[in-house]
Amino acid sequence: MTAYLPDDEQFADGFDAEPAARTPLRPLARILKARETGENPDSIERENLRARHEVMREKSRRRSEGRLLFLGLAFFAAFTVIGGRMGLLAASEPMEPRSAAPGAPILAQRADITDRNGRVLATNLVTHALYAQPKDMVDPVRVARELAVIFPDLKEEDLARRLTDGRSFLWIKKKLSPEQMQKVHEIGDPGLLFGPREMRLYPNGRLAAHVLGGASFGAEGVASAEVIGTAGLEKFLDARLRDPAQAADPLALSIDLTVQATVTEVLDTGMKMMNAKGAAAIMMDVRTGEIISLVSLPDFDPNDRPNPLVKGDPADSPLFNRAVQGVYELGSTFKIFAAAQAMEMGLVGPDTMVDANAPMIWGKHKIKEFQGKNYGPLLSVSDVIAKSSNVGTAHIALMVGGKSQQAFLKSLGFFEPSPIEMVEARSSKPLIPAKWPDIVTITASYGHGLSASPMHLASAYATIANGGIAVQPTLLRRTSAPEGTRLLKEEVARASVAMLRGVVEHGTASYAKVKGYAIAGKTGTADKPKRTGGYYKDKVINTFASVFPAEDPRYVLVVTLDEPVDTSGSEPRRTAGYTAVPVAAEVVRRTAPLLGLRPEIALPAANAVTAVSQNN
Amino acid sequence: MRALIYLLTFSAVIASGFWAYRENYATQQALKDVSKLNSEIADLREALSIQRAEWAYLNRPDRLRELSTINFDRLGLLPLEPEQFGLSSQIAYPQPDLALPALDGVVDVSNQEGGQVP
């Protein structure tokens, strides 16, 4: 750079605007002189031009040199900074930024589940897993002996063999209680180590076990393990429960813990009294579709979920959810759908007389009444429902026609898996006949030939009870009633509920007369199909689908008993009117006050004094 | 004059050095406090969740039912039933004091039956 000393005189030309500084190309003095001496004046001009060009070239060369140097320096500086930073990062100890303000630190890796009133149904508990690093162990044989004392389910020989066969890592226990952990500490071997764990706890034990399902560990590491849902709602809403953004707010279910406990207690007693091998009950709010209670018996403890059966009928396992997974022929409970649809289409009214002359011959089929009775020749539609006449319903269904019957049952949701939030619900599709000839129309009208779960039945009854507007059942708390499509006119829905009330007042469900609450419902008794085909003579599924209170329906209750038999009378009775109905009536009697429904109070008979005082 | 400027400058350098030293240690102390508080919060949260779980466990309906059965003598608790509802007209209100002339212990009348006097 030192060479760059611009001479103003020299550099002014060509670039500078001032012509005075320029060396003239043809200086007059020299031209004249050249002319005098006879030289060519053009050579003077050429010489001057060459000198000027040289100066210009020199100048631009220096300028380029300068630019190159500057660029080189800039690159050098940039690379020095980057290199220095990398060196610093490589040489320094890694450290977390300590001054960063923590927001809400993650509490738990899985959100709690509560009932509709905020009572805890599932929460997390911190515990520890025990693992061993046999290479660090002082005395593996002694450790094996002492561990076998602390954990009776571990075998000393197995443990000793695995601790001494040269492996470097071994899980011993997935969950430890604090007492066990203290005892393991007291062994004092450096090869025994603890890994923190979060485990899922269901404080209510067996209550609502089928709804919740269960959880277990997914990928396990020394420092933590992920908790994943294995069944029920825990599996269906696994993504929501594991979402870190929502881990702090518990998931509120529509289940009411108190009602659930009461229903479970009553149903368990009823199941034992009726000698049934299983039972299910669903209670649903007809306006919002919320499931207030869902019970299936026998149940299990989700804290210690049993393994599924590897052979035999899965329905024999306590894990089997009869309310949602069990698809049954629900029997006469379907009759109200035929009657409601016929009224909706304007074909009949509650008092229209229909043919009920039994037995009815249809092709090669013979449709009979229960125990070969005959309610005919003519019966009003209300009485068809109240007396549960198969023949009467069949005639109503034939009036409606197969196509529209199929469409109506489909709109009630009988053709699709139930939409509630459980994995089991999605995998149990109702069994629907592939073709729909008239004989299917007839049998479907009284609930034979197509199978659905009690959950389907509950939501279909909720549609009737909700003034004919379809409701989507849900296990999650809803704040407002969702919009539904109207399937029945309001008068038709009201007339249908009145018919169901008739079943209780003077029909097959007379045991459902509960003091204070008007129940309306329909019984259903279906023979159990054999796995080999055909039906059992003495095994039935009894169902009572009911609505209460009848004057302004708020809740639907479906009670199903599997293979019940009432042995209190002289001969065993297997119809729903003797088994499922009294159980359902007791459920309503016990739960309706808990649901905040005031009973109609029958005043005690007035004696002379109160009669006078009340007249005043 | 120059000496005074030097003196002032030096003392300013010393003062700012002292200030920076103290700030440095105060910051480190604050960071330690924060991390201690954070771990304390985490511990308390864990304890809270354990207590919530325990509370839910102790209040499980099975246990409450058993306890109310065991302590029936003292508590007399029964499940809620429709018969326990009543109307307000069935309540026996206390009788208003009637300004009657005093009777000198002659008649003994009971009005237990009606329970309600208009």
Q: Which segment, A92-106, A236-250, A449-463, B76-90, is predicted with the most confidence on average?
A: A449-463
Considering only CB atoms, B82 lies closest to which of A257, A515, A616, namely: A515
DSSP A165-204: SS-S-EEEEEEE-HHHHHHHHHH--TTEEEEEEEEEE-TT
Partner-chain contact A609 B81, CB within 8 Å: no
**A29-42 pLDDT per residue, tens:** 888 888 888 888 88
A177 contacts chain B (CB < 8 A): no
The pLDDT tens digits for A209-245 are 999 988 888 888 877 788 888 888 999 998 888 888 8
B95 touches chain A (CB under 8 A): no
- Nearest chain A Cα to B61, which residue? A261
What interhelical angle do A140-150 and A178-187 show, nearest 10?
Answer: 160
The residues in A 584-613 lying below 8 A from B, measured between CB atoms, are: 589-590, 592-594, 598-599, 601, 603, 607, 609-610, 612-613
Residue numbers in A near B90 (CB within 8 A): 601, 603
Cα–Cα distance, A131 to A222 (Å, whole number): 8
Closest by CA to A586, choosing from A272, A169, A358, is A272
Q: Does B91 lie at the interface with A, CB-CB under 8 angstroms? A: no
Which residues of chain A neighbour B23 with C-beta distances below 8 Å?
none
Q: Give φ, ψ of A191 to 5 degrees.
A: -85, -5
Please give the Cα distance from A569 to A114 (Å, whole number).
44
Per-residue pLDDT band for A19 (boundaries 50, 70, 90) equals very low
**DSSP notation for B26-60:** HHHHHHHHHHHHHHHHHHHHHHHHHHHHHHHHHT-
| DSSP E strand stretches across A397-464 | none
> Contact at 8 Å (CB) between A436 and A415?
no
Q: For residue range A300-357, what is the model confidence (pLDDT) as tens digits?
A: 998 888 888 777 777 788 888 888 888 888 888 999 999 999 999 888 888 888 888 7
Radius of gyration of chain A (CA): 44
- Give the pLDDT mean for A381-391: 87
Interface test with A, best of B34, B49, B51, B68 (most A CBs within 10 A): B49
pLDDT digits (tens, 9 = 90+) for A397-422: 988 888 899 899 999 988 889 888 88
Best B63, B69, B77, B80 residue to mutate vs chain A (most A CBs within 10 Å): B80
Nearest to A112 by CA among A218, A251, A301: A251
Nearest to A451 by CA among A598, A325, A343, A362: A325
Rounded CA separation A295/A113 (Å): 17
Q: How far apart are CA A544 and CA A291, in angstroms?
A: 17
Percent share of chain B, pLDDT over 70: 84
If you average pLDDT over residues A63-76, what whole number do you get? 97
Min distance B110 CA to chain A CA atoms (Å) = 13
* pLDDT class of A8 with cuts at 50, 70, 90: very low
What type of residue sits at position A418? S
- Supply φ then ψ for residue A203, to 5 degrees: -65, -25
How far is Cα A518 from Cα A547, in angstroms, rounded to an integer? 9
Closest CA to A561 of A271, A339, A200: A271
**Domains in chain B: boundaries:** 2-72
CA distance A318 to chain B (A): 19
Assess B65–A contact: CB distance below 8 Å, yes or no. yes
The CB density around residue B112, as the number of other CB atoms within 10 Å, is 7
Q: Does B59 touch chain A (CB under 8 A)?
A: yes
Question: CA nearest A270: which of A39, A576, A613, A595?
Answer: A576
- Output the CA–CA distances (angstroms, integers) from residue A72 to A2, A60, A67, A473, in the order listed: 18, 18, 9, 74
The end-to-end CA distance of chain B, in Å, is 108
The whole-chain average pLDDT of chain A stands at 85
Interchain CB contact of A107 with B (< 8 Å): yes
What DSSP letter does each residue of A355-375 carry, written as one string?
A: E--SSEEETTEEE--GGG---
Give the mutation candidate from A115, A121, A124 for the B interface (greatest B CB count, under 10 A): A124
* pLDDT over threshold 50, residue A17: no
Going by C-alpha positions, the residue among A381, A332, A386 that lies closest to residue A505 is A386
B113/A607 CB distance under 8 A: yes
CA A15 to centroid of chain Cα atoms: 82
- Residue A21's pLDDT is 63
Interface contact B87, partner A, CB < 8 A = yes
d(CA A345, CA B87): 44
Beta-bridge partners for A521? A546
Residue A11, pLDDT > 60, answer: no
Percent of chain A at pLDDT > 70 equals 92
Q: Is B108 on the interface with A (CB under 8 A)?
A: no
- In this prediction, residues A544-559 reach a mean pLDDT of 92
Task: Give tens-digit pLDDT for A190-215.
Answer: 888 998 888 888 999 888 899 998 88
Q: Are β-strands A360-362 and A520-529 bridged in parallel, bridged antiparallel, or unpaired?
A: unpaired
Choose from A1-10, A28-37, A66-75, A222-231 the range with maximum mean pLDDT. Answer: A66-75
Are residues B82 and A514, on separate chains, in Cβ contact within 8 Å? yes
Please tell me if residue B69 touches chain A, with a CB cutoff of 8 Å.
no
| B112 CB within 8 Å of a chain A CB | no
Assign 3-state DSSP to chain A and report helix, strand, coil percentages, each to 5.
40, 20, 40
d(Cα A125, Cα A245) in Å, to the nearest integer?
Answer: 20
Residue pLDDT, tens place only, B15-28: 999 999 999 999 99
Taking CA atoms, what residue in A is nearest to B43?
A107
Which chain B residues are Cβ-neighbours of A593 within 8 angstroms?
80-82, 84-85
